[in-house]
């Protein structure tokens, strides 16, 4: 039994008992709780992609498929969301379906929104920053998503910078993603991550991936070529107590990579429309992704689903390698 995992889960249970009024702040599914206590591989998954990423029932089907991919590769999936004011680490099939049906009625929840959603007993779909926070809280070292947020185009004037980047700078969770969404300013995003002290590495490539496409034109600061290398990187960062996250950029499989030129053309049109409609802040990215999907005839959504599944496969393999590494050293 991995003592570090058992200690973390025991400490969590001690501090999050029901309050005198019987209110719970957090609920860990039995499957996830057991896996953590035994030091088994666990992969955190966000829930915004379910509620805001695609329509029902496609969102439910995709969520189930992603969880199944994690299991097939030897890890336990822990989809994270807030339901009726309770932070849920690991969702049942019924809870997944409920969230999928809620769709955009569930509040898109970043770190700043967590306390308010819980205090008002609301329903929240966690973004990258909120999912990282909860994953770190219960001792899940790896989180899989599609793509992280970043510095928006013209961000040097608007200061529109995703909280994902700040979270990566202060929360020790490894994030497996297909890089940065190409609707963003990739160059400035990488610069900002450097300022935050975040280790950014690319998986089996030397170029930082750009979500819809496997090439961004920007060299990755470092490279890893196997789940074992990723595991050693994560474990080393943890042992050094750097206190920062790690961003592992996994390129979308080439057979699903959308035409960079086609996507870029759609992005420019969507950006122009967003400015005309004065769509900014947290509403901008969902609008842009939906509009780009319309303009590409569904090609971008198909690419999005393919890359999330690929990330789940890689993330689960990394989680298994990390669990084995820690078991050997314990």
Write the burial class of residue 13 (CB in 10 Å: 0-12 exposed, 13-18 middle, 19+ buried). middle
CA dist 134 and 26 (Å) reads 9
Torsion of CA 321, 310, 35, 33, to 10 degrees: 140
Annotated catalytic residue within 40, 108, 181, 309 = 181
273 labelled catalytic: no
Contacts of 289 (CB under 8 A, 6+ apart): 53, 181, 183, 300, 304
206/220 Cα distance (integer angstroms): 6
- Give the number of other Cβ atoms within 10 Å of residue 153's Cβ: 17
Tokens of 253: 């499989």
Q: In whole angstroms, how large is the CA radius of gyration of the chain? A: 19
The one catalytic residue in 46, 97, 167, 284 is 46
DSSP 56: T
With CA atoms as reference, report the closest residue to 38 among 90, 92, 76.
Answer: 76
Helices (H), the chain: 3-15, 30-37, 48-51, 58-72, 93-102, 114-119, 128-138, 155-158, 163-170, 186-195, 227-239, 260-276, 284-295, 299-329
Token output for 185: 């300013």
Catalytic residue check, 181: yes
Active-site residues, by number, are: 46, 181
């Amino acid at each position: 039994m991995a003592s570090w995992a058992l200690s973390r889960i025991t400490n969590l249970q001690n501090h999050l008992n029901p309050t005198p009024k019987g209110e719970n702040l957090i609920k860990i599914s039995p499957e996830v709780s057991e896996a953590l206590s035994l030091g088994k591989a666990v992969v955190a998954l966000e829930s915004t992609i379910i509620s805001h990423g695609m329509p029902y029932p496609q969102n439910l089907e995709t969520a189930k498929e992603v969880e199944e991919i994690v299991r097939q590769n030897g890890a336990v999936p822990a989809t994270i969301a807030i339901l009726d004011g309770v932070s849920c680490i690991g969702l049942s099939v019924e809870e997944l379906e409920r969230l999928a049906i809620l769709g955009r009625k569930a509040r898109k929840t970043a770190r700043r929104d967590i306390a308010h959603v819980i205090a008002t007993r609301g329903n929240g779909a966690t973004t990258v920053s909120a999912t990282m926070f909860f994953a770190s809280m219960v001792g899940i070292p790896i989180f899989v998503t599609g793509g992280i947020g970043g510095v928006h185009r013209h961000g040097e004037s608007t200061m529109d910078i995703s909280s994902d980047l700040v979270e990566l700078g202060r929360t020790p969770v490894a994030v497996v993603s297909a890089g940065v969404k190409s609707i963003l300013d990739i160059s400035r995003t990488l610069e900002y991550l450097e300022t935050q002290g975040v280790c950014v590495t690319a998986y089996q490539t030397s170029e930082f991936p750009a979500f819809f496409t496997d090439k961004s034109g920007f060299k990755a600061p470092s490279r890893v070529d196997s789940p074992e290398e990723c595991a050693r990187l994560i474990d080393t960062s943890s042992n050094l107590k750097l206190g920062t996250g790690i961003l592992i950029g996994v390129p979308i499989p080439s057979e699903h990579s959308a035409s960079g030129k086609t996507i870029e053309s759609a992005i420019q049109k969507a950006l122009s429309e967003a400015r005309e409609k004065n769509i900014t802040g947290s509403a901008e990215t969902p609008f842009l992704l939906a509009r780009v999907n319309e303009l590409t005839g569904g090609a971008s959504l198909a690419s999005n689903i393919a890359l999330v599944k690929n990330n789940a496969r890689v993330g689960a393999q990394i989680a298994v390698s990390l669990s084995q590494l820690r078991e050997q050293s314990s």
